[in-house]
Amino acid sequence: MARAVSPRRKLLMTLAAWSVALIIFFPVFWMIVTSFKTEASAVASPPQFLGADWTIENYVDVWARSDYPRFFWNSVVIAIGSTLLGLAIAIPAAWSMAFVPGKRTKDLLMWMLSTKMMPAVAVFIPLYLLFQQFGLFDTKIGLVLALMLINLPIIIWMLYTYFKEIPGEILEAARMDGATLWGEIVYVLTPMAIPGIASTMLLNIILAWNEAFWTITLTTTKAAPLSAFIASFSAPQGLFYAKLSAASAMAIMPILILGWFSQKQLVRGLTFGAVK
């Protein structure tokens, strides 16, 4: 919508848009601000902004003098682990569905997506018991498996859409040029699919990192990632707002950064391609 508009209208629109955006972003902003205050400053009434006492003590305390790094590490392992495992299973599946489609391929895809619509609580009870029985409860492996399975439909779907965008003629050209099936995959398909695979990885890491049902219900202390940690320590009795803010800020920062790069992938992945 690029048309010439009057400078006055542009100014009004800009002001309106920025006001709205800043209001929406304000909670995040306020949390970051709080994380740099001293505890006393954080709970001061009326709330202090410019006149507050600033410190980076909270970050140091949370990171160096508590169990926080362990939870952070758990989040990293679970997010990346479930993503890599998911990719390993999804890439062959998406490849075959995109390039050798059968009569049932579309139905199969729809079915896979529909598994994502199953309420988690319906499968929660047996999985909770099974995890305990098989020693997967409160383990990183267990969570990697669980998160991989809930996101597998989305991973397959996204890879499928990316693979479908590779023109079939290019693979045929490779075949005419003498490439075996393996050669096709290695020399042509994979290099062309790398951006799509990277996008899918990105989205999945975000979804796994932020997941807040299984990560809470299937862990207690050992394998708890950041989501569980923050959830349990949220209503602090007393005066730890600044530290909680620091902990929260560190918990969301990686994903805020990744999220900035992945807006397009978000639209593609979570609307199942219905919106372009």
Where in 246-265 is the site for other proteins (CB under 8 A)? Answer: 248, 251-252, 255-256, 258-260, 263
Q: What mask, x for binding other proteins by CB under 8 A, covers residues 169 to 208?
A: xxxxxxxxxxxxx-x---xx--xx-------------x--
Which helix (H) or strand (E) segment holds residue 207: the answer is helix 190-210
How far is 228 from 238, CA to CA, in rounded Å?
20
Among 129, 141, 165, 186, binds other proteins (CB under 8 A): 129
How far is 101 from 94, CA to CA, in rounded Å?
10
CB of 64 to other proteins, least distance (A): 21
For other proteins, the closer CB: 123 or 198: 123
How many residues line the site for other proteins (CB under 8 A)?
Answer: 113
CB-based burial label for 114 (10 Å; 0-12, 13-18, 19+):
exposed
Among 40, 56, 130, 186, binds other proteins (CB under 8 A): 130
Among 8, 117, 133, 237, binds other proteins (CB under 8 A): 117
Where in 211-240 is the site for other proteins (CB under 8 A)? Answer: 212-213, 216-217, 226-228, 230-231, 234-236
Told to check if 8 binds other proteins by CB under 8 A, we report no
For the chain, how big is the Rg over CA atoms in Å?
Answer: 23
CB of 65 to other proteins, least distance (A): 20
CB of 39 to other proteins, least distance (A): 11
CB-based burial label for 68 (10 Å; 0-12, 13-18, 19+):
buried
Told to check if 92 binds other proteins by CB under 8 A, we report yes
DSSP string, 117-166: TS-HHHHHHHHHHHHHHTT-TT-HHHHHHHHHHHHHHHHHHHHHHHHHTS
Report the amino acid identity of residue 21: A
Stretch that binds other proteins, among 59-67, 135-143, 196-204, 209-217 (CB under 8 A): 209-217
Going by the DSSP 8-state scheme, the letter that residue 262 receives in this structure is: T
The phi-psi region of residue 238 (left if phi > 0; otherwise alpha if psi is between -120 and 50; otherwise beta) is: left
CB of 147 to other proteins, least distance (A): 12
Told to check if 84 binds other proteins by CB under 8 A, we report no
Told to check if 80 binds other proteins by CB under 8 A, we report no
Tokens of 222: 């050992």
